[in-house]
Amino acid sequence: MKEFSHNLKLAWNYVKKHKGKLLLYLLCNVVHIFISVVAPIISAQIIVKLTNNLLVQVLQMAFVLLCTEILRNMITYFSGFLSQKIYRESFIDIQTDLGREILKLENSCIDQNSSGVFIQRLTNDTSNIADVFNVLNIYLTHILTDIGIFVAIFIIDKRVFCFLLFMIFVIYIIEKRRTTILNERDKVYREKHEEVSGFVGELVRGVRDIKMLYAEDSFMKELHRKVTDLNQYRYLMMKENRGYNFLSGSYRDLLDMSMIFLLVYFIYLGDLTIASALVVHNYMGRVTSIVNYFGILLEKVKNFNLSCSRIFRIMDGEEFPKEKFGKKHLKEVQGNFQFQNVSFSYLPDVPVIQDMNFTIHAHETVGFVGKSGVGKSTLFSLICKMYPIQEGKILLDGEDLYGLDQESIRGNITIISQNPYIFHLSIRDNLRLVKEDLTEEEMREACHIACLDELIDSLPNGYDTLVGEGGITLSGGQRQRLAIARALIQKTKIILFDEATSSLDNETQNSIQEAINHLKKDYTILIIAHRLSTIVNCDRILFMDHGHIEAEGTHKELLKKSPEYKKLYEAEMRD
């Protein structure tokens, strides 16, 4: 109960802005409770008067019942409207907040979890939280209505009341056992569902590679195994639930029959009038359903607690740690970088960067070269503060990177990767993601510099052409050029090119290289390249090996003083 109270307070933060609608919704349900208690009494009176041949009074009571039912239908319609409005707006707020919190997670946390973990919690669990007050109101209304009826039966006949009390107690035991077991099963089911969702997401994103690898059968076998396991577990849950429903339903039917015998016996003794027996009989189903509603409410509460636990474990940052930024803000970033004895590893005892030291000056163009796996891309991730370093310091304009706010770092650094992610939007909307008030002139200029304008002009819908998930309708080079245009629109002071021209043909690469040369005087530019021809004109080149900077200088200087660099360059020339 303490857990539920705590979670309810958290959920209330999303509903309280709609408390006016919620109060009106509660008022509707109070009226509904009153009608639910009165309607069976009117129905019983109609039957009594009909048996006594009081036809005029039957018609009068029938008209009253009609008006009562019309009022109930109107209340139901209006309360449903309010319920959906509260749910929809709360659902949007919770999903938006959870999406924002997911974006704050440390990258290592994202790396270690399947996408299904976040997809299921964002789509399914948020619904349970948004709907909790509506659910509570619905089932509490039913329970309160049935309690009112229960009191009415107590007034009519205390012996019948005691019998119903015994019925309710037994059904309660069955329902409580059912909800407790199913709640434990549901925890496991959701974890299995997350695993399947994550695998399906990977299958869809990697469908082209799967086809090219001719691995359809392997993936389908794995998908079949996971889906079978999930649905087999769900089948066992439903089988268990059916068993409890059968037990509860059979017991209820037996007691209903016993109640009829009891009513007939009391009428025979003259202790109960036919009219009172009819009222009790009309109410009987509603009274026994009080436990059913209570069981459903208990199930909903446990379901709500489970959803809250899964969502707020992401939000509170204990199990899913968040990125941490400092409070210092740099009004104007120049672009000076300094690495002081920096060490980093993704896995314990497997260092990627070791005791690294170097300096980058503002408006300098610097190339990073070295064999694959020496930590070049990791270096860029550390500059963007994508991962926390284990030792040392990284300084931006003389300030510790870990003391700066998010805007000072990521608002001033753009990274263009070897495989940039292009969203399933139009070209225009992909560019607007980085600048909402993007003008037509700015967009065309950036695309021209990125050598993308000719391609766009050839498309039937131009800038409004959809590019597919991951930019699949574009070639690798076209995706990189779109990413470059996106970076140019950001107009950050620091631009990082991580193999950003690797998928470009020589002619386009030369054009991009020329564009980069035009940017030199205004930006700090860092370039990772396997093609040494793309960085020979850099102000400086840093040669990396085994997580260290082994040598630095211009292209000509490195050819003289670094045998390893010379070997790389000569190997490229031979190719």
For residue 558, tell me if it sits in a domain: yes
pLDDT exceeds cutoff 60 at 503: no
Looking at the structure, do residues 344 and 303 belong to the same domain, yes or no? no
Say if 206 falls within a structural domain.
Answer: no
Q: How confident is the model at residue 575 (pLDDT cuts 50, 70, 90)?
A: low
The CATH code of the domain that includes 468 is: 3.40.50.300
* Predicted pLDDT of residue 469: 73
Which phi and psi (to 5°) does residue 434 adopt? Answer: -95, -10
- 252 and 350 part of one domain: no
Residues 514 and 465 in one domain: yes
Confidence check: pLDDT of 396 > 90? yes
Q: pLDDT tens digits, residue range 224-245?
A: 888 888 888 888 888 888 887 7
CA distance 373 to 389: 18
Using CA atoms, how far apart are residues 499 and 241, in angstroms rounded to an integer? 56
**Structure tokens given for 355:** 């005791």
- C-alpha 342/C-alpha 396 separation (Å) is 14
Per-residue confidence (pLDDT) for residue 499, from 0 to 100: 76
% residues pLDDT > 70 (the chain): 89
The number of helices, as runs of H, and strands, as runs of E, in the chain is 20, 10
Residues 432 and 354 in one domain: yes
Question: Containing domain of residue 126, as a range?
Answer: 2-182+243-315
| End position of a domain, from candidates 282, 315, 348 | 315
| Inside any domain, residue 209 | no
Predicted local confidence at residue 2, as pLDDT: 67
Does residue 216 belong to any structural domain of this protein? Answer: no
By the 8 A CB rule, do 493 and 525 touch? no
Q: Between the CA atoms of 49, 52, 57 and 61, what dihedral angle is there, to the nearest 10 degrees? A: 10
β 524-528/494-498 pair status: parallel
Q: Give the ranges where 374-452 is alpha helix by DSSP (H).
A: 376-383, 406-410, 427-432, 440-449
- Give residue 162's pLDDT: 83
Q: Could you tell me if 394 and 460 lie in one domain? A: yes
Q: Tell which phi-psi region holds residue 414, choosing left (phi > 0), alpha (psi between -120 and 50) or beta.
A: beta
In a domain, 214, yes or no: no
Lowest mean pLDDT among 191-195, 328-332, 349-353: 191-195
Per-residue pLDDT of 130-158, as tens digits, reads: 777 777 777 777 776 667 667 767 777 77
Same domain, 144 and 27: yes
Tally of structural domains, the chain? 2
Q: pLDDT tens digits for 94-111?
A: 888 888 888 888 888 777
* 8 & 95 share domain: yes
Burial class (CB in 10 A: 0-12, 13-18, 19+), 234: middle
pLDDT of residue 324: 87
pTM summary value:
0.68
Whether 190 is in a domain gets the answer no
Looking at the fold, whether 484 and 450 belong to one and the same domain comes out as yes
Same domain (yes/no): 252, 345: no
Pair 72, 149 in one domain: yes
Task: Tell me, yes or no, whether 346 lies in a domain.
Answer: yes
Residue 545, SS3?
strand
In a domain? residue 565: yes
CA distance linking residue 201 with residue 196, whole number of Å: 9
Are the beta carbons of 446 and 416 closer than 8 angstroms?
A: no
Question: Do 401 and 281 reside in the same domain of the chain?
Answer: no
Tell me if residue 114 falls in helix, strand or coil: coil
